[in-house]
Structure 1
Amino acid sequence: MGNNKEIQNVSKATIGRLPAYHRYLKEKLAEGEKTISSTSIAEDLHLNAVQVRKDLSVISTVAGKPKLGFEIAELIEDINRILGYDNVTDAVLVGAGGLGSALAGYDGFKNYGLNIVAVFDSDPEIIDSTVNGIKVFDAAQIQHLVRRLNVLIGIITVPKSAAQKVADELIEGGVRAIWNFAPVHLNVPENIAVKNEDMAASLAILSKRLAEILNNEK
């Protein structure tokens, strides 16, 4: 993925905003724009202008020019370098159910440096089938294949009752980072990175926001 030293110098909050900047800048480049100001980015993405300027000052290798702003192509290259979008990292996905199949079928991950090379499941009816052209292997082979393929990222989309066992298998195989969609806390060594996607929490936040909007309309 990205340059470790560079990432260490960028805050987690800024890292979290970079994909949105990247998508936006790619769209502007496709529209024929060559330069852009931090103010325009902030307005279009509904972000704080001061924060956007700070973010760009941290990631950009070339300072913006008065009245012109930043070179869009250069900003895109800077984000690619920091997030590692130019260096594709292989990943495996465990759990070929509805969510897992949807993630495996999303070709857009490759634009962000992630390439799912294998899917695992324990259902005999699914094993040896394919999802978006990716073969589904027996979950019993996780350790062996992860080690053989030298994969560093594992994606977990299994029920919470199976998530810890799957995480253990992935780590034993050599995975160093886990993207966890199971609604459970994973116990992993300190040198393993974990990103949890808590859909229940996200839905709760969305529901609260909806209730506030509806209440204000009364």
Structure 2
Amino acid sequence: MSQQRHGSTPGEADGVPAFPDLPEATIARLPEYLRALHHLAEAGAETVSSEGLAAAAGVNSAKLRKDLSHLGSYGTRGVGYDVALLVDQIEYILGLDENRAVCLVGVGNLGHALAGYAGFASRGFRVVALFDADRKKVGEVINGLSVRHIDDLAQVAAEESIAIGVIATPPASAQVVADGLVAAGVTSILNFAPCVLSVPPNVDVRKVDLAIELQILSFHEHRKASLTALPGGVVDGAGDQEAVGS
């Protein structure tokens, strides 16, 4: 069965809706597939097998095929997936064809790094405004943008149609910033502050906590060390215990 374009409507193209209701786990994997597809396209690949794409994205091929079937993408037997078409489909589902406007609040060390990251533009996002509560930072130019005072948030959000707000403030300030973003009509927030935000049900929040990720890796290090300490136990490359000489 061949792949279908994202413009289909219910009843067309085997009944696949233009915007499918995707499982959260599938949504979380789509950016990994897109990243892998971009690398393949840059290398000159026009098609890719499910096994090849799965390996590039770090998932198993059965899971990948199931995920892509939700988009109405089944590939072509003996050929695989059309790379350019699949990029278009995933970018459409992720809303990356909208070139969404993003603002960043908090221009400390982390905020500086995020504001200077060139990868946003190449993946469908425009950082249109930087904000900080410290008036000493107002007027500083970072990656071509002048830092505005947080008091200007509502005005700028309306002028620039800001869709996503990124919080890179200390945790004590994050909730106040989130409240300001919500009041300004921003309904999607990426939170780098190590705290839990309280937001209305219509606001989506994604939390990025580097300390938590390190703690999870620490668990795996602890686990591997514990397994290797067991009599006759070694840990293979996948982290599974195997008996010596088995």
TM-score normalised by the chain length of structure 1: 0.90
- After superposition, the C-alpha distances for 1:148-203 in whole angstroms (9 at most, x for unaligned) are 32212111110111111111111111111111111111111111111111222111
Which letter maps to 2:40?
K
Per the alignment, residue 13 of structure 1 pairs with 25
- Report whether the alignment pairs 1:32 with 2:44: yes
Structural RMSD (CA): 2.0
Per the alignment, residue 205 of structure 2 pairs with 194
Following the alignment from structure 1 to structure 2, what is the Cα–Cα distance between the partners of residues 43 and 215?
Answer: 30
* Higher normalized helix content (fraction of residues): 1
- Report whether the alignment pairs 1:68 with 2:90: no
Moved more, 184-193 or 142-151: 142-151
Per the alignment, residue 88 of structure 2 pairs with 77
Equivalent residues, number: 215
Assess if the C-alpha contact under 8 Å between 1:92 and 1:155 holds in 2. yes
- Report whether the alignment pairs 1:44 with 2:77: no
Which letter maps to 2:70?
V
TM-score normalised by the chain length of structure 2: 0.81
SS at match of 2:219: helix
Per the alignment, residue 143 of structure 1 pairs with 154
- Report whether the alignment pairs 1:116 with 2:113: no
- After superposition, the C-alpha distances for 1:112-169 in whole angstroms (9 at most, x for unaligned) are 2221101011222211011111110112222232233221211111011111111111
Per the alignment, residue 194 of structure 2 pairs with 183
Bigger relative CO (Cα 8 Å, ≥ 6 apart) = 1
| Unaligned runs of at least 5 residues, structure 2 | 1-5, 8-16, 230-246
Which letter maps to 1:22?
L
Q: CA deviation at 1:11?
A: 1.3
The percentage of aligned residue pairs carrying the same residue is 37
Per the alignment, residue 111 of structure 2 pairs with 100
Per the alignment, residue 129 of structure 1 pairs with 140
Assess if the C-alpha contact under 8 Å between 1:177 and 1:193 holds in 2. yes
Q: In 2 relative to 1, CA 183–150 (structure 1 residues): closer, same or farther, beyond 3 Å? A: same
SS at match of 1:141: helix
Match of 2:102 among 81, 91, 96: 91
SS at match of 1:135: strand
Moved more, 30-39 or 161-170: 30-39
| Unaligned runs of at least 5 residues, structure 1 | none
